[in-house]
Amino acid sequence: DGGITQSPKYLFRKEGQNVTLSCEQNLNHDAMYWYRQDPGQGLRLIYYSQIVNDFQKGDIAEGYSVSREKKESFPLTVTSAQKNPTAFYLCASSSEGFYGYTFGSGTRLTVV
């Protein structure tokens, strides 16, 4: 089945550590996105990529980094510069013609 796979589902990070969240899609979609969701809130865009080897900052990119070396993969690194990283992170993709987004099942990141 085609879809988006995010891993891990749960992730714990110590203060000062960088962690990387994985997002892989087999939908042959060109565009991929990372969103952050805080409790009781909507989704806010962190980074997005519309083509391999290119990506743009979203509304809350500070403290995050991404890469897009393959069409299928769009990993997100939460760096130590992100002061409040505890949140639910969702990855999504869309096709060039845009008939809607498909989301992964998310990663819950907690700072311990």
Partner 1 sequence: GIQVEQSPPDLILQEGANSTLRCNFSDSVNNLQWFHQNPWGQLINLFYIPSGTKQNGRLSATTVATERYSLLYISSSQTTDSGVYFCAGILTGGGNKLTFGTGTQLKVEL
Closest separation between CB of residue 65 and partner 1, Å? 19
Query: Which residue lies nearer to partner 1 by CB, 17 or 56?
Result: 56
- Under DSSP, the state recorded for 112 is -
3-class DSSP assignment, residue 82: coil
Closest separation between CB of residue 4 and partner 1, Å? 10
Closest separation between CB of residue 47 and partner 1, Å? 11
Whether 76 contacts 46, CB under 8 Å: yes
Query: Which residue lies nearer to partner 1 by CB, 16 or 42?
Result: 42
Please state, in angstroms and rounded to a whole number, the distance separating the CA atoms of residues 74 and 50.
11
Instruction: Report, in this order, helix, strand and coil percent for the chain, each rounded to 5.
Output: 0, 50, 50
Please state, in angstroms and rounded to a whole number, the distance separating the CA atoms of residues 52 and 31.
9
Query: Which residue lies nearer to partner 1 by CB, 77 or 101?
Result: 101
Chain residues that interact with partner 1, rule: CB under 8 A: 31, 33, 35, 37, 41-45, 48, 50, 58-59, 88, 90, 92, 94, 98-103, 105-106, 108
Query: Which residue lies nearer to partner 1 by CB, 44 or 71?
Result: 44
